[in-house]
Structure 1
Amino acid sequence: MLISNNKVTMYESLKNSINLSEEIIINVSFILDSGLKLLIPELLKANSEGKSIKILTSDYMSVTEPNALYRLLDIPGVKIFKDPEKPSFHPKTYIFKNKNNVEIYVGSSNISYSALISGVEWSYQFSGDLQNSDINNILTEFEELYEKNSFYLSLDWLRNYEKNYKKKEFQHYIDPDFPKILAKEIEPIKFQVPALYELSKTREEGFNKALVIVATGLGKTYLSAFDSMNFNKILFVAHRDEILKDTQKTFETIYSDSKSYGFFNGSTKETKKDIIFASVQTLSKSDYLSEEYFSKDYFDYIVIDEFHHSSAKSYSEILNYFKPKFLLGLTATPDRADSGDIYKLCDYNIAYECDFRVAINNGWLTPFQYFGVYDDTDYSLIPWRGGKYDLESLENSLVLEKRLQLILKKYLEYRKNSSIAFCASVKHAKVMQEYFLKNNIKSEIILGETSISDRQNIIKKFKEGKLDIIFTVDIFNEGIDIPCIDTVLFLRPTSSYTIFIQQLGRGLRTYPNKHQLRVLDFVGNYKGAELKPSFLSGFTKGKNIPKSPLDENFVLPEGCSANFDFKIIEYFEERKNKRDNVLQKLVEDYLKVKELLNKTPSIMDVYTFGEYPIHLYLKKYRSWYNFLKAVNDLDEKEQQFTEKAIDFLEFLEKTAMTKSYKIPLFLSLFGVEPKRTSLFFSFSLKSHLTIFHLLC
């Protein structure tokens, strides 16, 4: 029987066969999430009924999507083909066994929506008993591949596959109808699929707190709505009322009328609702953190949006008062220049992390087309005080007529439809807007002082195409969802990875007919300018070592490009050749953290807030103790340590934590009682450093 998705679809045929069979065998070269979403309910049902399931697929040409494999993690018997001598893998075969009868589909259909439902595919269905030589040959050949040329799908392998995965351009042709499906369905998509799996696993392991770090524009709010579905009372905390209103719409989309919704902010104090959307400024007041309003265990599930702010006093009041069954922190930028350790607030449990590089490679965010424009402003003449440029002097340098002319010229040359420009100050933004208006460019300005109603009206006009460009300072760094932005202008010196990625992220959201985000960055000789290539490569905090666009390891996310003016490249090369001694840079970095925290930093503080990886300190100074000694930062007690004590500290730093008993043993030795044993069985670098911080 021929199945061509004409009168009968491959999906309908496979669904029926899965339900009627006792043993299921699937042997396909690739699996896309669009197709697996159709089959996974039937496969999970079959697994729960105790049916034997064997699935063999491959990472050949990296076509198989990580999300599809995440959905298969709960099904035992899933394997990945691996044969170094025969790297290509193209079978499309489905086998269903019932006692002595075997049903087989062989043809052109892999697992994708197009292959199973909408595309022109040919698959031949036939059946017979185990005495049939052709059927026996097929089963024997499959067992050979499955047993000898494959490995079991594991979470560790999949995490690595996801981080290195790059969606190919031709995949859009494999599933041309899939985007239309997404518009009609309300279910986890993009990063939400692996993140939900990781959150489920972390709760199974005993954690009641978790941090999810994902790039701006991926849909963190939807993740929290999906993840909270098994909890009764939910609290969502954010710092702006606009975010709370948008969040309520998101939760309503998921929960519909199965839950009641309320707000707790400056104007409304609702308490008897299933889901409360609360302003941190209001809820954190001592009058409201009381039994009169909410008991400590009133909420089963608490979400803290923009969790990088959570070390602030207002957030701490809320976190210290409530005792939920589960706490979820959401952020795109965990490493902030404040004095708090937000990782500690989540027990150093990062359940899932997806930076903008991984998101672009997976096709979840829009690729960028970056232009580094040479800015001849001489920043060396601008005073540098307290870790930043003197604002008045900076403003005066940025509003010179020749610079305004340069920006306008480049804007007219490269602009698309909807532009956002980030300025250094209110004065700078106002001058830019006035200059653009004078040149007949439809522009507006949004600042902290802009009223909410005016802000909403401006954004509405912008989305309707009635504005060309909006000038702002930092107000758009967080909590703004304007997917139509297709051009971003950096008109300020930006040397912070966090700020750069936040502002770049404003334009990375996907949008119909937006194939690339255009970025105009006016780069001069300001401090940290040489880090831009590292930022664009997706090097996160702790790895921001200057590199040149000419370096071999200057690799951009899939579909992205970067073009720097020659004078900028010359400057980068000059800075690279004149880089200071590494030892001096480490000392300077340490002193910056010390000034920031107003105390002698621990090794964990330097890991969290410093720019250089900890292993450099340990490599260059042999131990953390030696480094502190070199910078004269040992306290009186530490100066009296014996050689044996110093050797023991060095031993703790260098010993391999390969056995689960080591950390509890050290904790017991130092009188530290772990809150949960499972917390200390996580051997990530961050966990290792956390333990060492406790020990020292």
Structure 2
Amino acid sequence: MDILERSLKKAFIDHHIAGSHYDQKLIINQPSNKEFLLNTLQTEISTCSDFFFSVAFITQSGLDTIKTQLADLAQRNISGKLLTSTYLTFNNPEVFKSLLAIPNLEVRISQRNGFHAKGYLFTQANYYSFVIGSSNLTMNALKLNYEWNVRLTSYENGELIQEISDHLVGEWHNALPLTPAWIANYAQNYQPVIQRKQLVPAVAEDKRPYIVPNKMQQVALKNLAELRASGEQKGLVISATGTGKTYLAAFDVQQAKPKRMLFIVHREQILNKAKASFMQIMADEPAENFGILSGNQKDTEAKYLFATIQTIAKPAYQELFAKDCFDYILIDEVHKAGAQSYLNVLAYFTPKFLLGMTATPERTDNFNTFELFDYNIAYEIRLQEALEEDLLCPFHYFGVSDYEKDGRVISETTDLQYLANKERVNFLLDKINYYGCSHNTPKGLIFCSRKDEAQALARLFNECGIPSTYLTGEHSVAEREAQIANLENGDINYIFTVDVFNEGIDVPKINQIIMLRNTQSSIIFVQQLGRGLRKDNSKDFVTVIDFIGNYKNNYMIPMALSGDTSRSKDRLRKGTFDTNYISGLSAINFEAVAKKRIFKSIDANKLDSMQGLKQDYSDLKKRLNRVPYLTDFSQQASLDPLVIANKFDSYYTFLVKIGDNEGTITEKQNKFLYFLSRELLPGMRQHEIVLLSKLIESDHTLSKQDLATLFTDGHLIHDTATIDSVLATLSLTFYTGGLKKAYAGAALVQQQADQVELTAAFQSALQNNYFKKLVVDLLEASHNKSKQFSKTEPLTRYEYQRRDAKYRRRDALRLLNWPEQMVDQNIGGYVAKDGKFVIFVTLEKGTDFKGAQMAYEDELIDNATMHWFTKSPRTLESKDVKKLQDPEHWTFYLFAKKSDDEGAEFYYLGEVKPQLQTIKQLEKPVRDGKTRNVVAMDLQLAVPLEMEFYEYLRKKIVNKTAESEKAPRVGYKF
């Protein structure tokens, strides 16, 4: 049956039929599952050779979501058309200007009354796809609103696609071309019927007579009151920039009612804003109760005193106040409190309550912010949660490729003459203008790597007619404030800077952040991103343009954006190709070349370096005020326990190496931990974890019937073959070769008649309480990881909700109840036994084929079909090929990985069926110049891959020359 026929039958006759990329689909935004219409549109654009959109309403934010995909198409000389309207004057002049800036998009304006279409059509490789429904090209429609849309597919001769195509041809020819003159005329007469929604700030504006706490502040205030009621004298609030920490502090002072308060900041320009915020909240207090203590002002008698650390840290000023003068002290940006000036102030004053506020408590100088506040975290909300709560302005992040000439790309060592020249400036401006900003008038910060670069680029921007300046640490506070005012007033468009604006600066009107530097740390990245996230009615969103060169630390970009500090390379790859994790109306997009540079950085860097692991360990220890264990890392969403456990023989070995072990165990006891870390900690099957936990907590023995009941009660698979496999794993009889030798003496269970019990050696080891603690901790961490895996199926397909589902070859065989492990080299590309045929594919094999004699050209044809080759030499009469021709008696399991750079683990793609009509015997060349027989075929996946995942696995970044030499595309006939 033809694939499209099969998809039509699946959609309208029998849903049990295997799917494919032709499948018809109902698309509904489901934010809780991170499923959006946006994902479908981005994928369709990325793979098409032509497109036509007919959409009534467009917003700048909606258009932004597809700009990187359109930019990638432009690199391949692919363009498309968009038909829109002025219906209800919804589309503002700014969005028409943004449309005109897209070089490979031709736009026309329909003259039809009541134009309200919402359709997206694509020419794909050998078929057409179209999405029709209720969604306009707006961010709300693409990500949040409850919308219904249907994706349909058709061949060129289909009647529906012909009707749509003919209709669009007529509409297109009757529409007006979008031109600068048309936009100017439209703008002159523009009077919107639908008023733009005003953003509600995370904190209220000055003109509001009455201010109430936002969601974050309400919870934090309750927690702070309870903290004081319990007798605690210190509290720490960790809150993302822009969520209203200063207002929170004012609300808490209002509820605590101190006799006198001291608010300490590290920069003088913050003082007046902080004082003004307090005066808004505490409007009943006389103005004279609020004062400033700084180099320029000395209101020492004020009830509510706002002081710079530089002034209050001086003994001469401290002596003006009694030690208990202030019963409430607040420290802003408290992660700086490790400096001696802060420590001196805190050593002098004895407040009844000390509040610290910061967005980033983590430090690299060994100072423990958490200890300073007695480990009392009153409230914590990071970037992702703040976006979910709608406390921040949405941001549109674009990871774009940096300037390249003669094969050289910007890197850490690039000379100034290459960083700051007219060619690079023209390149930057093309990208900046393309991605734009809210309302198209930039008020932007540009972060540079060097002072001379910032100065030179500001000069070159001015020469291009773009008013700009630069600020560094050498500029005075007065000069900084003056230039910030110029930016907010529109007198300049950009401030180039080096580090000065990382934190402590409040410029709500910033609508564009541009990054022209290597990402030095995820903390600094988030700090710089945060400069634009404060809500303001002058903007609908913040545009972030990150120019990504050949930087060693590019792997930190997905780490910072996703908040993933696991040090798992696989998770960082996923955070680059699948950006659904970002919440609300924000969006993250990478150009194809920028993705390639990030993947290169991930592959090249040693993320599990001892220095990095020690830093992560130290950070968590500071937060917990004790030695952290594997479960702590998983519960705190910190370092992936697998990374730290598998770097060494065990986590105990790591603790010994850094001198933080709280007890000692023997080498033999550590071998048990070595086995558990390698085989059970990944959590692929809960059975072993549940059984061991039960045996440890009980009398160390269970009957076989008890074992079946244990698994049944846990809703786990409990057939005899699975139970035997579990026991073979824990008794080590499954393992052979090098692993059998490595694990010798570490058997955990044994069978005696109908009884299952812990081995005598393991029972004896458990008498060591420290060893038992390490085992129980490891099992609990393993159980946490097992939540990513299915309880009712032996293997778990990779999908967004199961991002850790990967398997080594031996894992796959063990979970399919193989009685004995096979050495990886003996498995190679596949192995078959007892009706189970297991296939392992490396899609990008590299030029050396990793030792293979033949160039195997396995590839994903679409998200439901893999073209695959058997081992060689093979013919149609070979035993394994005969099994492949017998799908009635064999079940086929397909595993794949993108390349050997991803390590020894494979994604499970699901069950497949060889398409019998495609099985062919071929002759292919081998390295010695001869040929060998091999058999090729198509494998049909029972469940199609998620499109983002499919694109990641199959996509290879090719150079522009290769792209331009592709065969001419076939598109709509206009």
TM-score (norm 2): 0.44
**What aligned pairs does 1:195-206 form with structure 2 within 5 A after superposition?**
195-206=220-231
**What aligned pairs does 1:485-504 form with structure 2 within 5 A after superposition?**
485-504=510-529
Q: Return closer, same or farther for 1:555/1:449 CA change in 2, 3 Å cut-off.
A: same
- How far residue 595 of structure 1 moved from its aligned partner, in angstroms, is 12
- The residue aligned with 1:39 is none
State how far apart, in whole Å, the 2-side matches of 1:177 and 1:560 are: 17
- The residue aligned with 1:280 is 309
2:523 pairs with 1:484: no
- How far residue 454 of structure 1 moved from its aligned partner, in angstroms, is 2.5
- The residue aligned with 1:565 is 591
Query: Which residue of the other structure, out of 545, 555, 560, is the alignment partner of 1:530?
Result: 555
2:358 pairs with 1:331: yes
Contact 2:567/2:639 (8 A) holds in 1: yes
- Which residue identity lines up with residue 413 of structure 1 in the other structure? Y
2:293 pairs with 1:264: yes
Contact 2:328/2:351 (8 A) holds in 1: yes
Q: Return closer, same or farther for 1:455/1:647 CA change in 2, 3 Å cut-off.
A: same
Q: Secondary structure at the match of 1:252?
A: helix
- How far residue 269 of structure 1 moved from its aligned partner, in angstroms, is 3.9
Contact 2:404/2:410 (8 A) holds in 1: no
Query: Which residue of the other structure, out of 596, 610, 613, is the alignment partner of 1:587?
Result: 610
- The residue aligned with 1:399 is 420
**What aligned pairs does 1:43-192 form with structure 2 within 5 A after superposition?**
179=200, 183-192=208-217
- The residue aligned with 1:254 is 281
- How far residue 634 of structure 1 moved from its aligned partner, in angstroms, is 4.4
- Greater shift after overlay, 524-533 or 237-246? 524-533
State how far apart, in whole Å, the 1-side matches of 2:420 and 2:472 are: 18
State how far apart, in whole Å, the 2-side matches of 1:579 and 1:447 are: 31
State how far apart, in whole Å, the 1-side matches of 2:421 and 2:214 are: 47
Q: Return closer, same or farther for 1:218/1:479 CA change in 2, 3 Å cut-off.
A: same
Query: Which residue of the other structure, out of 445, 456, 465, is the alignment partner of 1:440?
Result: 465
Can you list the C-alpha shifts for 1:184-216, whole angstroms capped at 9, x where unaligned?
A: 422212421222122222223332211111111
Q: Return closer, same or farther for 1:468/1:267 CA change in 2, 3 Å cut-off.
A: closer
Q: Return closer, same or farther for 1:438/1:605 CA change in 2, 3 Å cut-off.
A: farther
State how far apart, in whole Å, the 2-side matches of 1:654 and 1:296 are: 50
Contact 1:548/1:554 (8 A) holds in 2: no
- How far residue 490 of structure 1 moved from its aligned partner, in angstroms, is 0.3
Identity of aligned residues (%): 33
- The residue aligned with 1:463 is 488
Can you list the C-alpha shifts for 1:225-244, whole angstroms capped at 9, x where unaligned?
A: 11011222111001111111
* Structure 2, gaps ≥5 residues long: 1-29, 33-141, 148-193, 620-624, 670-764, 779-974
- Which residue identity lines up with residue 266 of structure 1 in the other structure? G
Q: Return closer, same or farther for 1:273/1:653 CA change in 2, 3 Å cut-off.
A: farther
- Which residue identity lines up with residue 382 of structure 2 in the other structure? D
State how far apart, in whole Å, the 2-side matches of 1:569 and 1:636 are: 41
**What aligned pairs does 1:15-26 form with structure 2 within 5 A after superposition?**
none
Q: Secondary structure at the match of 2:550?
A: coil
- The residue aligned with 2:477 is 452
- Which residue identity lines up with residue 485 of structure 1 in the other structure? I
Q: Secondary structure at the match of 2:315?
A: coil
**What aligned pairs does 1:21-40 form with structure 2 within 5 A after superposition?**
none
- How far residue 501 of structure 1 moved from its aligned partner, in angstroms, is 0.8
- The residue aligned with 1:132 is none
- The residue aligned with 2:676 is none
Q: Secondary structure at the match of 2:589?
A: strand
Query: Which residue of the other structure, out of 356, 363, 369, is the alignment partner of 2:390?
Result: 363
How many equivalent residue pairs?
475
- How far residue 588 of structure 1 moved from its aligned partner, in angstroms, is 4.1
State how far apart, in whole Å, the 1-side matches of 2:586 and 2:455 are: 32
* Structure 1, gaps ≥5 residues long: 1-59, 63-165, 658-696
Contact 2:447/2:517 (8 A) holds in 1: yes
Contact 1:377/1:397 (8 A) holds in 2: no
Contact 1:335/1:541 (8 A) holds in 2: no
Q: Secondary structure at the match of 1:448?
A: coil
- How far residue 413 of structure 1 moved from its aligned partner, in angstroms, is 2.5
Can you list the C-alpha shifts for 1:144-179, whole angstroms capped at 9, x where unaligned?
A: xxxxxxxxxxxxxxxxxxxxxx995589x9x98995
Q: Secondary structure at the match of 1:612?
A: coil
State how far apart, in whole Å, the 1-side matches of 2:229 and 2:480 are: 44
2:450 pairs with 1:429: no
Q: Return closer, same or farther for 1:617/1:492 CA change in 2, 3 Å cut-off.
A: same
Q: Secondary structure at the match of 2:552?
A: coil
- The residue aligned with 1:509 is 534
Q: Return closer, same or farther for 1:654/1:396 CA change in 2, 3 Å cut-off.
A: farther
- How far residue 324 of structure 1 moved from its aligned partner, in angstroms, is 1.4
- Which residue identity lines up with residue 587 of structure 1 in the other structure? M
- The residue aligned with 1:413 is 434
- The residue aligned with 2:942 is none
Can you list the C-alpha shifts for 1:502-559, whole angstroms capped at 9, x where unaligned?
A: 1111111112152221111001221221232232234368789522456457522221
Q: Return closer, same or farther for 1:401/1:612 CA change in 2, 3 Å cut-off.
A: farther
- The residue aligned with 1:555 is 581
- Which residue identity lines up with residue 305 of structure 2 in the other structure? I
Q: Return closer, same or farther for 1:167/1:567 CA change in 2, 3 Å cut-off.
A: closer
State how far apart, in whole Å, the 2-side matches of 1:543 and 1:207 are: 38
- How far residue 449 of structure 1 moved from its aligned partner, in angstroms, is 2.2
- The residue aligned with 1:341 is 368
State how far apart, in whole Å, the 1-side matches of 2:410 and 2:446 are: 25
- The residue aligned with 2:401 is 374
State how far apart, in whole Å, the 2-side matches of 1:595 and 1:472 are: 32
2:335 pairs with 1:308: yes
Can you list the C-alpha shifts for 1:235-289, whole angstroms capped at 9, x where unaligned?
A: 1001111111211111122223625122222344443221111111222233444
- How far residue 450 of structure 1 moved from its aligned partner, in angstroms, is 2.1
State how far apart, in whole Å, the 1-side matches of 2:431 and 2:454 are: 17
Q: Return closer, same or farther for 1:538/1:656 CA change in 2, 3 Å cut-off.
A: closer
State how far apart, in whole Å, the 2-side matches of 1:402 and 1:178 are: 38
State how far apart, in whole Å, the 2-side matches of 1:381 and 1:641 are: 54
Contact 2:554/2:597 (8 A) holds in 1: no
Q: Return closer, same or farther for 1:446/1:639 CA change in 2, 3 Å cut-off.
A: same
Contact 1:167/1:361 (8 A) holds in 2: no
Q: Secondary structure at the match of 1:256?
A: coil
